[in-house]
Structure 1
Amino acid sequence: MTQILDSLADIANQYDVLLVDLWGCVHNGVTAYQDAVAALKGFKRGGGTVVLLTNAPRSRDEVAKQLVRLNVPEDCYDSIATSGDSARAAMFRGAVGEKIWFMGQPFDESFFAPMDLIDDPAPIQRVELENAEGIVCCGPFDPMADPSVNRPHFLYAKQKGQKLLCANPDIVVDRGETREWCAGALAALYTEMGGESLYFGKPHPPIYDLARRRLAALDRDVDPSRILAIGDGAHTDIDGAMGEDIDSLFISGGLAAAETKTSHQPDPDALNAYIQKEKIAPTYTIGQLR
């Protein structure tokens, strides 16, 4: 059974690196959680390294700009690994062809910015669906609309054999008090309809490979037993940690706050029922990162 913690400091000396989810753990899409910021600063003061590991469908530079707007200070982390960068690398290597139909909102269009790390990148063109070889999905056109509104587009794409590159495997996210659909919900629908979806964020291996490269760039060669993943997503953060065989800290007051009856801390019985239902095994749990 998972161990419920009072604070990150209770176990900080057991780990050298934190892989920390952003949305729902460090901020709520509107502003930073100051207790979480303080916890990360404390870990760094003790000599630890913090890599923000996010399913944001954009580059780490764009995420860093967003963090400034959300009042997340630069001195609470060391590096950022995004599903966007992992997916962008695949796109520029031609994973879904060169003629691309794009799904997302205007602020996601930085996904197509040049990527210096890719030698001889594919000449990507954005086209209409009927002319496309594949789909890049950063999210729905309308995050409040049920994903099923995309069925007509997906039926056509499936019949044409188009692959869908999913830049954000998250199903939903809470922006303040409002729950929104993410790219993962669209990719799941496309797969359910018989299409092929390609994933690059948590819980899938490419983003963890990217995190290791970020650590290598910081000259950190860390034993996996000294890495702790932190997040509020049962099937992104916790499943991903389990797949990588690293310890995890589940933030029960995020996406699963209602199911785990979390206010300051989760209700132990509700938490245990949720863990069993979702078939996850977090090493530790805490209501909010602090």
Structure 2
Amino acid sequence: MTLPHALNGLSEIAADYDILLCDVWGVIHNGRESWAEACEALARFNRENGHVVLISNSPRPASDVVAQLDGLGVPRESWKAFVTSGDATRAELAKRAPGPVWIIGPDRDMVLYEGLGLDLATNAEDAAFISVTGMIDDETETPEHYRDRLTPAAERGLELICANPDRIVQRGDQIIYCGGSLADLYEDLGGRVTMAGKPFAPIYDLAMTEAERLLGRAPDRSRVLCIGDGVITDVLGANQQGLDCLFIAQGIHGDAAKGADRRLDPALAADLLKAETTYARYAALDLKW
């Protein structure tokens, strides 16, 4: 088993890269507060080495998520471009207009659908396809709350577009189910699922377009580093794109990669990665310079 190289900080490898494709939730904030060391590491990379492109599985367009980052105290100098799963998913939704679409998700995500010319359905019976951004009430609901509602849709053969492939995130000290967990349930029911966010190619295509704009040339893919805490999203996506990856092991995985001394244990980090048949060149408990 090949172990990831344990990093003390991003400064150890910063000179090797021109572009960072950096995850957001679990790396620079937890939904309740931002982490100053992570934000400063990105800001310093921007000042001294290259360009940071944030790449998030948020189901909302990046332009709508910026206000959330501002509210959490993420400095604008920590990033130079921002792409989301919502941005990539809008193209998929537009292909299927006018639908009608049965939408599942909280009201805050309705901005995803603005200007796409989609007609709305209120249930599976009247829909041409389903679009999921997450739980309607993600503080209390789990995927099992949706089994009875999604079963008829799967039986009808409706396609489900999932705008957030993440299965879970950490919000403060809570674990919250995301759209990807509903997509898993739907596939278990025999339904078809389409996703454009991490680990799938469309969101990386958007991110590399932003990288090219910032560099003024096509990026050298050997000098692009992905950073994230999600094994089946961030790490797998980097692997599929042939890009180096820094695995942030203390995100949604908590203490699972810590040894008895409370420091990163590369072998435990490798076990987390191997469980999903993935590999990261580097690992750290958290992001810092």
Question: TM-score, normalized by length of structure 2?
Answer: 0.93
* Conservation of the 8 A alpha-carbon contact between 1:234 and 1:278: yes
Q: 2:269 maps to what in 1?
A: 271
SS at match of 1:109: helix
Aligned to 1:132: 127
Return closer, same or farther for 1:111/1:148 CA change in 2, 3 Å cut-off. Answer: same
Per the alignment, residue 154 of structure 2 pairs with 158
Q: Distance in 2 between matches of 1:38 and 1:217?
A: 23
Give the gaps of 5 or more residues in structure 1. Answer: 115-120
Distance across 2 between alignment mates of 1:73 and 1:239: 28
Residue of structure 1 in register with 2:219 after alignment: 222
Query: Residues 104-148 of structure 1: CA distance to partner in whole angstroms, max 9, x if unpaired?
Result: 11111111122xxxxxx5x30122112111111000112232202
Aligned amino acid, residue 79 of structure 2:
Y
SS at match of 1:102: strand
SS in 2 for 1:18: strand
Q: Whole-Å Cα distance in 1 between the matches of residues 202 and 275 of structure 2?
A: 27
Give the C-alpha shift of residue 272 in structure 1: 3.2
SS at match of 2:275: helix
Residue 233, structure 1, aligned to residue 230, structure 2: yes
Overall identity of the aligned pairs, in %: 36
- Cα displacement (A) at 1:90: 1.1
Pairs within 5 Å for 1:206-221: 206-218=202-214, 219-221=216-218
Deviation of the 1:48 alpha carbon? 0.5
What secondary structure does 1:124 align onto? coil
1:1-290, aligned counterparts within 5 Å?
1-94=3-96, 98-114=99-115, 123-129=117-123, 130-143=125-138, 144-218=140-214, 219-261=216-258, 265-290=263-288
Separation of aligned partners in 2, 1:105 and 1:270: 36
Q: Deviations over 1:245-283 (max 9, x none)?
A: 000000011011232127963233422332333322100
Distance in 1 (alpha carbons) for counterparts of 2:191 and 2:277: 26
SS at match of 1:32: coil
Question: Post-superposition shift, 1:220?
Answer: 4.2
Q: For 1:221, give the aligned amino acid.
A: A
Q: Kindly indicate whether the alpha-carbon contact (under 8 Å) linking 2:165 and 2:195 is maintained by their aligned counterparts in 1.
A: yes
> Displaced runs of 4+ in structure 1, greater than 4 A?
none
State the one-letter code of the partner of 1:134. Answer: F
CA displacement at 1:184 relative to structure 2: 0.2
**Alpha-carbon distance in structure 2 between the residues aligned to 1:272 and 1:217:** 34
Q: Counterpart of 2:225 in structure 1: which amino acid?
A: L
Question: How far apart are residue 10 of structure 1 and its match?
Answer: 0.4
Residue type of the partner of 2:47?
A: R
- How has the CA–CA distance of structure 1 residues 264 and 31 changed in structure 2, closer, same or farther, with 3 Å as cutoff? farther
Single out whichever of 2-11 and 272-281 deviates more from structure 2: 272-281
Extract unaligned runs of 5+ from structure 2: none
Partner of residue 117, structure 1: none
Q: Is the 8 A contact 1:264 1:288 kept in 2?
A: no
Shift of 1:58: 0.3
Supply the RMSD in Å over aligned alpha carbons.
1.5
